[in-house]
Structure 1
């Protein structure tokens, strides 16, 4: 296993905690080859230490001992989506609040366009700790970038783990905008939602969008100087 894979895993884990996207629960992972992915240890993401290493999980077969039950969500998504190289299972507060209203954020500003027209909402409230349910969640995710789990946070994907971490920040910011506009919506005022064409043009990776967000997410981390 490459040392840099564990390094990126640790950076992403702590970034989720540093920016309020995960607390005592959650996990992040990255694909390492065609048949395996690396997932964070079963501890709060903000507490992942510089000595910690991830656990290698096979795409075929049962989860290894000690791996958290919802890691099966990662496994099913990697099985179905060859384009996905990283996943964040998190609890962003604005995303959680919207899910309690049966809503997910629309494409109302730049960051929201990465999920246009909006992420799907998994309606069940139980934690996903059964293989069959994990398959259903992955099926509902489809080709979307993220899926919101009602009252349980979200699962966010990316081409790499760095991209997935950036998408997680984008998702929470989109939910923040949606929440801020709820009073206006209640007053009968309509938001200027991006058209499909506008969203496709805005949801770009050009210009170092993801690289700069990764720098922002990791800035100040004890291991960040090694990667800078």
Structure 2
């Protein structure tokens, strides 16, 4: 019988490769899922698209330093999990439109359906240095607050979801919101109003298998695709 950790290992691998297929990352980035109130599982420290079925992630405790071999910026995962009991999966990714906006010191505004999931505006961590110390990681998590995501200056973004499918979906939606924001700015219409908080609240639904359909789509060709703890993958 497959144990729970083995199931979670497979889930993290599926999430990692889905992020790569969705164009969210190349050589850099990482993802994780919460195991329990005290620990989480982060993917193997290699390009997410190159993670194989034999690659196992590392268990990280919330009350301890990072284990040997775990990438330094995984501190951000740890601090978000500490502050956000609602977060059960995290994706740290570096995508083209997010980076272009960050270079302007901007984050996406909610201008279309996908952007509505980030009501008001996505928080921005202004320090361009890599987040490889505990103080910076805690600062990122506190700046993120209860937002689904944060842009980490010119180093990409972090999103937190209720499960792996939702974290993947939020990462895809955030990159698309950045794409739309860039198009609006290029058209010289940056001062046009975005969706209101009320409009965002009405539009940003998870009903209708919104996250599950993204998961189905981006894991469809994955050799390890399977049903994992309620995450669609038939």
The answer to whether the superposition gives a TM-score over 0.5 is: yes
Inter-partner Cα distance in structure 2 for 1:154 and 1:12: 16
Shift of 1:17: 1.0
Shift of 1:7: 1.1
Q: Is the 8 A contact 1:108 1:194 kept in 2?
A: yes
Shift of 1:191: 3.3
Report the counterpart of residue 209 of structure 2 in structure 1: 208
Report the counterpart of residue 17 of structure 1 in structure 2: 20
Shift of 1:182: 1.4
Report the counterpart of residue 136 of structure 1 in structure 2: 139
Inter-partner Cα distance in structure 1 for 2:192 and 2:223: 41
Structure 2 stretches of 5 or more lacking a match? 228-232
Deviates more, 1:96-105 or 1:218-227: 218-227
1:96 to 1:189, Cα distance in 2 relative to 1, 3 A: closer
Inter-partner Cα distance in structure 2 for 1:189 and 1:72: 34
Shift of 1:127: 0.4
Asked whether 1:178 is paired with 2:211, we answer no
SS at 1:151's partner residue?
A: helix
SS at 2:34's partner residue?
A: strand
Q: Which of 93, 96, 100 is 2:96 aligned to?
A: 93
TM-score by length of 2: 0.93
1:189 to 1:44, Cα distance in 2 relative to 1, 3 A: closer
Inter-partner Cα distance in structure 2 for 1:215 and 1:30: 18
Q: Which of 122, 125, 142 is 2:125 aligned to?
A: 122
Q: Is the 8 A contact 2:29 2:47 kept in 1?
A: yes
SS at 2:130's partner residue?
A: coil
Report the counterpart of residue 33 of structure 1 in structure 2: 36
Structure 1 stretches of 5 or more lacking a match? none
Q: Is the 8 A contact 1:36 1:56 kept in 2?
A: yes
Report the counterpart of residue 200 of structure 2 in structure 1: 199
Inter-partner Cα distance in structure 1 for 2:219 and 2:193: 32
Report the counterpart of residue 58 of structure 2 in structure 1: 55
TM-score by length of 1: 0.95
Inter-partner Cα distance in structure 2 for 1:117 and 1:106: 7
Report the counterpart of residue 44 of structure 1 in structure 2: 47
Asked whether 1:153 is paired with 2:159, we answer no
Asked whether 1:223 is paired with 2:224, we answer yes
Q: Is the 8 A contact 2:43 2:58 kept in 1?
A: yes
Q: Is the 8 A contact 1:108 1:191 kept in 2?
A: no
Deviates more, 1:213-222 or 1:188-197: 188-197
* Per-residue CA distance 1:19-74 (angstroms, 9 max, x = gap): 11011111100001111100011111110001111110001111111000001110
SS at 1:207's partner residue?
A: coil
SS at 2:35's partner residue?
A: strand
> Alignment RMSD, CA only?
1.3
